[in-house]
């Protein structure tokens, strides 16, 4: 197939591009910058912003399918900033699929679209969207996901939404650097007992699942379309033990300080009010969303992905961690 990957230079998007190229697909990548390594590997680069409808329409010319990974993640910032990329950008992709008569769209969503601050203990896709969100990222991703799923129309456009949780790998540019920097700066504390269970997913598994979804709906599997799927390693881990293992692998002392969830939540709420009142754009050291993510269960039943997409992790958590430790050590 000839596949457009939006957000081609992102952590997940780049791995999706590499896996598509490795199996022989033609790949067009839409991104805001140039990515010479991907271009050298065979990707056709289209430079543009997902917020620009003309750029999206240009990138979708002569493609058979779209894997849409472009997004802005984070826990702080204006609603407009998240809306323009996450929701409006996705709307542009859907519109381009219709105009170009593209038959398949795989959307990278997030499990946080169902997270309102309570424990999520082995929940499946029947988990509803919450009435209130703790930050703008999940709110705007949920709106985008709903538009993608509503656009599913057999015979015209088949769509699905994937929800990979805490994507990681040795070269992760987001989660691990943030964790390590906070620990080194003395700004990382254990919230609650640290024994809450969380799901994660290695970037190779997350990309692999996107290709599986693409193949299923491009092959006309209407039973797999029009729905969302949680994705993970299928191996929930204790939050603080996992974070501690990552810090140890990075040669960083594991913090010993801890605070209760209730205290962290109150501090986060107070800092959010203060930063909003003073119009500070930097991220507060604690927010309600971060407090809840650090203290609450958030792991998921991935039966639907296994049954309808044929998903199984191609790399176990133990194998991924061994690879990470080896690369960091060297």
Evaluate whether 224 touches 36 at the Cβ level (below 8 Å).
no
Residues serving a catalytic function are: 137
Return d(Cα 143, Cα 158) in angstroms, integer: 18
CA 83 distance to own-chain centroid: 16
Structure tokens at 75: 């826990």
Structure tokens at 316: 């176990």
Q: Distance of CA 212 to CAs 56, 219, 239, 292, Å?
A: 24, 11, 29, 32
Question: Residue 140: CA atoms inside 13 Å, Cβ hemisphere, count?
Answer: 25
What is the pLDDT, as a whole number, of residue 330? Answer: 84
Which residues of the chain have a pLDDT value below 70? none
Structure tokens at 74: 């984070």
What is the pLDDT, as a whole number, of residue 152? Answer: 98
Return d(Cα 28, Cα 55) in angstroms, integer: 13
Domains of the chain: 2-165+199-233+298-314 (3.40.50.720)
Return d(Cα 277, Cα 257) in angstroms, integer: 29
Residue 259 has φ and ψ, to the nearest 5°, of -140, 160
Return d(Cα 188, Cα 185) in angstroms, integer: 8
What is the pLDDT, as a whole number, of residue 224? Answer: 96
Q: Given the structure tokens 């994937």, which residue do they identify?
A: 162
Radius of gyration of the chain (CA): 19
Structure tokens at 55: 């750029």
Neighbours of 42 (CB within 10 A): 15
Return d(Cα 327, Cα 33) in angstroms, integer: 27
Structure tokens at 249: 């692998």
Q: Given the structure tokens 């919450």, which residue do they identify?
A: 130
Structure tokens at 311: 């998903």
pLDDT tens, 207-240? 999 999 999 999 999 999 999 999 999 999 999 9
């Amino acid at each position: 197939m000839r596949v457009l990957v939006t957000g081609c230079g992102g952590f997940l998007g780049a791995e999706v591009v590499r896996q598509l190229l490795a199996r022989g697909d033609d790949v067009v990548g839409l991104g805001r910058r140039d990515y010479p390594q991907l271009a050298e590997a065979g990707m056709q680069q289209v430079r543009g912003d997902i917020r620009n409808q003309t750029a999206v329409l240009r990138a979708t010319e002569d493609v058979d399918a779209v894997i849409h990974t472009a997004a802005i993640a984070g826990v702080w910032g204006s609603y407009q900033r998240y809306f323009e990329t996450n929701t409006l950008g996705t709307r542009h992709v859907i519109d381009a699929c219709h105009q170009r008569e593209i038959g398949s769209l795989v959307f990278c969503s997030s499990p946080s679209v169902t997270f309102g601050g309570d424990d999520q203990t082995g929940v499946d896709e029947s988990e509803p969207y919450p009435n209130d969100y703790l930050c703008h990222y999940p709110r705007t991703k949920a709106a985008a996901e709903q538009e993608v799923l509503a656009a599913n129309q057999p015979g015209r456009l088949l769509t699905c939404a994937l929800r990979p949780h805490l994507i990681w790998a040795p070269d992760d540019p987001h989660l691990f650097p943030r964790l390590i920097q906070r620990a080194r700066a003395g700004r990382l504390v254990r919230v609650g007992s640290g024994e809450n269970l969380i799901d994660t997913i290695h970037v190779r598994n997350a990309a692999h699942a996107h290709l599986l979804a693409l193949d299923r709906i491009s092959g006309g599997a209407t039973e797999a379309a029009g729905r969302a799927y949680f994705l993970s390693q299928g191996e929930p881990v204790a939050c603080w033990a996992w974070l501690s293992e990552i810090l140890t692998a990075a040669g960083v002392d594991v913090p010993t300080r801890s605070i209760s969830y209730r205290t962290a939540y109150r501090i986060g709420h107070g800092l959010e009010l203060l930063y909003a009142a003073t119009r500070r754009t930097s991220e507060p050291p604690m927010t309600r969303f971060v407090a809840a993510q650090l203290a609450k269960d958030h792991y998921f039943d991935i039966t639907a992905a296994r049954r309808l997409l044929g998903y199984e992790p191609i790399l176990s958590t133990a194998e991924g961690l061994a690879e990470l430790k080896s690369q960091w050590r060297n």
